[in-house]
A and B are shown apart, each in its own frame.
Chain A
Amino acid sequence: MRIICVNTGNKFGQWYVDNLKHMIDNYSGLKYDSFEVIEEEKYKGVFNKLQMFDKFRDGENLYFDLDICIYNKVPNLIRRDLTVLHAWWRDRAHTSFNSSIISWTGDQSHIYKAFKKDVNMWQEKYNKGIDQMLEENFKVANYDKICYSIKGNEYNKKDNNYSIMLFNQSQYLMLPGWSSWWTDYFLPISVKNI
């Protein structure tokens, strides 16, 4: 099994990658063969995620965003068919998909190939991100409620019904100076690596 993350642009430093690996190795219970980091910035923002469908065309694949907290043994997240999160914690808005966690087995490179045919069109049409693009154009399944979001839970205790929490757009809560229960699961933060 392959674990994948994407760290392009300057939004996240090396600490976030190291921190994700730290949480996977220490709390998730996941056993994996390789930990892959995509760093080459070829496209606009989140569209760089699509590179993983080109690079990894075999075996079991499990992708995580960098702004998450893994704090306990995770359920089985490996899927045969391409699967992303259902954003059950918020109103639907432009999409109900959330690609903070993705899994597939085998070859899904047709998504990347379709994107490559007209990069500008895809990036303009789906300027809010790839979630809506995946929902409207490809056959993608949804996970059940396997994680929750920090939205509305900033001041609450850790939810032990789950093992993963997403920071979504509240990534600042991972930074130095900010602390709550999740800090205990993080690597010590280094300013030069954030």
Chain B
Amino acid sequence: MSIKICTLYFEGKYTPDYVEKLHNGLKKYCSLPFEFICYSDNPNVKADVVIPLNPHSDIKKHWYKLSYFSPLFANQKPNDDIIIMDIDQIIVNNIDDIIGYPVGENELVSYNKWWGGKPKLNGGFYKFKSGELKNFWSDFIKCPEVWQLNWYKTGVVHYKYYGEQNFVDWMCEKHNVKLTLMPSEWVCKLTNNKKEDKENQLQYIKKFNKDYMVLDKPHDDIKIIHFANPHANIHDSDYHWIKDYWK
């Protein structure tokens, strides 16, 4: 059994160094052996394995992530632990508990989106056994055009082509997949909006009985920070401590 950490990069919102910096963070803060894979339309991203992204496909943006649910993708072997991670994250403490989080048959492990909104799982992190959730891909690829716009057209999300985590959440329900959310306080959300960050900070303090979420650096109980917001990115962030972790 091996751990494959699988990412996606496509030209647009981010730059290729996001991939390299996440990889560097994983190498620094994870003592478990893993293979770092990037499915990318830019061949210059830095990863152990770079899979070229098909330029003619009907699949849009982050929906390519779903390819990893197929055991035929990314040279998966039976019983491999597959982790799909978004690249807009900063690792700030030892992450062995997250990367090594136990996962069984017919189970999906994800972050707990304690800061609100539905679904409770977070598309920034999916962990499962290779092939166990292959129906997610099979169902999606039957009509990607429909699924990619479904949650936008029904008003659940407000940005075109958003809704991938809604699809995954719905797949869990449809296929009776056990959804496991890791301890909430391990993950926090930041944005480029001070007001929103302050509200999250207060919520974190209250919810988890901590002194703070982020001051001159993130709280020691936080292992990873997700810039989970359609308008958020790491490279424009004002937090000075970021340079110590994201390099």
Which A residues lie at the B interface, using CB under 8 A? 10-11, 154-155, 170, 172-173, 175-180, 191, 194
Contact = CB atoms under 8 A, between A and B. Distances in A.
* Closest 7 pairs between A and B when the two form their complex, measured CB to CB: A177-B51, A191-B52, A176-B52, A175-B54, A180-B72, A178-B72, A177-B73
A11 B56 contact: yes
B128 interface: no
Nearest to B67: A177
B75 A172 contact: no
A154 B134 CA distance: 11
A194 B43 CA distance: 14
Given A10-B56, A11-B56, A191-B43, A176 B51 contact: yes
B123 interface: no
Contact of B54 (A155, A172, A180): A172
B25 interface: no
Q: Which residue, B57, B70, B75, has most C-beta atoms of chain A within 10 A?
A: B70
Contacts of A170: 141
Interface string B67-83: 10011111100000000
Interface residues of B, number: 19
A10 B138 CA distance: 25
Contacts of B72: 154-155, 173, 178-180
Given A155-B134, A191-B43, A178 B73 contact: yes
B39 interface: yes
Contacts of A175: 54
Contacts of B56: 10-11, 194
Given A172-B54, A177-B73, A179-B72, 17 more contacts: A10-B56, A11-B56, A155-B131, A172-B57, A173-B72, A176-B51, A176-B52, A176-B54, A177-B51, A177-B67, A177-B74, A178-B72, A180-B72, A191-B43, A191-B52, A194-B52, A194-B56
Contact of A172 (B71, B131, B141): B141
Contacts of B54: 172, 175-176, 194
A155 B141 contact: no
Interface in B39-75: 39, 43, 51-52, 54-57, 67, 70-75
A135 to B, nearest CB: 25
10 contacts: A10-B56, A11-B56, A172-B57, A172-B141, A173-B72, A176-B54, A177-B74, A179-B72, A180-B72, A194-B55
Contacts of A173: 72
A154 B71 CA distance: 10
Contacts of B51: 176-177
Contacts of A155: 71-72, 131, 134
Contacts of B39: 177
Q: Which residue, B54, B57, B75, has most C-beta atoms of chain A within 10 A?
A: B54
Nearest to A182: B72
Nearest to B138: A154
Contacts of A172: 54, 57, 141
A173 B70 CA distance: 10
Q: Which residue, A173, A175, A176, A177, has most C-beta atoms of chain B within 10 A?
A: A177
B50 to A, nearest CB: 10
A99 B74 CA distance: 31
Interface in B128-151: 131, 134, 138, 141
Contacts of A191: 43, 52
A151 to B, nearest CB: 10
Nearest to B39: A177
B77 to A, nearest CB: 11
